[in-house]
């Protein structure tokens, strides 16, 4: 059942502000004020047209923009629904694990360990960890939940020689980084992470509770000790509909370069602003 119209805000037909912008601001305000809750179905396009006295083109433009902002989701044959707020994560800019990041934000994360074995490192994994192919490594796959909802599927590789006792530790509902520090004295100092968009395959879709081909955020990371020794390689798939990453930017002054080519030699000179 659609929410009723209890809000007094109207589209001002004498205003120079485009109708679709006015309507979008009205509907967004109703969501922000809690009049419509996540999961509520919005009035139909025709109901919005009739109540706000605007055309269907205006309504569709409004809903399209709200969908692109992640405020609503459209379900074929059912209408538009208020979207659940995305879970903000800062795993790109801070060297924290998912568990710690969620706890700091007031969530209760839950972990289901799908795989926890020692295996011979394949060439790609060995290259990421600075090992020879075939070197024993831990291969740990975990499905992470927030408020009983699957959010991220992560596979982690660690050098076995660095923490052999990890084979006997249950990583369900505990932080891997905290375990490494408390049990083995291993504290990652820095890391390098990349992020890209991918589509969910059948297994990923089933585990994460999304449709086949749904957008996922793929995060790949290598963490290092202070001396530059790689200690962890992981790749994680975050639900695109439930995740949003935050990045803080700091302007760093870098001198411009003047390139002078003399014969076959190239000389680079710094130039101030």
CATH of the domain at 65: 1.10.10.10
The domain in which residue 47 lies consists of 19-82
Task: Give me 266's structure tokens.
Answer: 């190239």
The pTM for the full model equals 0.60
Task: Give me 209's structure tokens.
Answer: 């509770």
Task: Tell whether 59 is covered by a domain.
Answer: yes
d(CA 73, CA 217): 18
Does 151 share its domain with 212? yes
d(CA 30, CA 176): 41
Does 58 share its domain with 97? no
Does 217 share its domain with 128? yes
Does 93 share its domain with 76? no
CATH of the domain at 114: 3.40.1410.10
Per-residue pLDDT for the chain (273 aa), expressed as one digit of tens each? 445 555 567 888 888 888 998 999 899 888 888 888 888 899 999 999 999 999 999 999 999 888 877 788 888 888 888 877 665 444 444 445 554 555 555 556 688 999 999 999 999 999 999 999 999 999 999 998 887 889 899 999 999 999 999 999 998 878 888 899 999 999 888 888 888 888 999 999 999 988 898 889 898 989 999 899 999 999 999 888 776 666 655 565 555 554 555 555 554 544 444
CA angle 194, 199, 202 (to 5 degrees): 125
Q: Which residues contact 121 (CB under 8 A, 6 or more apart)?
A: 129, 131, 132, 133, 134, 135, 136, 137, 157
């Amino acid at each position: 059942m659609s929410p009723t119209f209890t809000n007094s805000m109207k589209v001002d037909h004498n205003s120079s502000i485009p109708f679709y912008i006015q309507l979008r601001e009205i509907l967004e305000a109703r969501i922000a004020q809690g009049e419509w809750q996540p999961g509520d179905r919005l009035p139909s396009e025709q109901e919005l047209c009739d109540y706000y006295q605007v055309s269907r083109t205006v309504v569709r433009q409004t809903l399209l923009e709200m969908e692109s902002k992640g405020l609503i989701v459209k379900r074929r044959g059912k209408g538009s629904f208020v979207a659940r707020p995305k879970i903000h994560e800062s795993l790109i800019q801070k060297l924290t694990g998912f568990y710690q990041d969620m706890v700091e934000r007031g969530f209760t994360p839950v972990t289901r360990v799908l795989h926890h074995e020692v295996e011979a490192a394949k060439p790609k994994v060995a290259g990421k960890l600075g090992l020879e192919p075939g070197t024993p490594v831990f291969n740990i796959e975990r499905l992470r939940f927030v408020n009983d909802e699957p959010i991220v599927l992560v596979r982690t590789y660690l050098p076995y020689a660095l923490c052999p006792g990890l084979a006997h530790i249950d990583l369900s509902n505990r932080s891997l980084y905290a375990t490494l520090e408390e049990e083995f004295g291993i504290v990652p100092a820095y890391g390098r992470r990349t992020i890209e968009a991918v589509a969910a395959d059948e297994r990923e879709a089933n585990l994460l509770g999304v449709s086949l081909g749904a957008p996922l955020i793929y995060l790949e990371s290598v963490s290092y000790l202070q001396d530059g020794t790689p200690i962890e390689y992981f790749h994680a798939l975050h639900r695109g509909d439930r995740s949003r990453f935050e990045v803080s930017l700091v302007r760093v002054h870098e001198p411009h370069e003047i390139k002078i080519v003399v014969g076959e030699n190239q000389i680079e000179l710094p130039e101030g602003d």
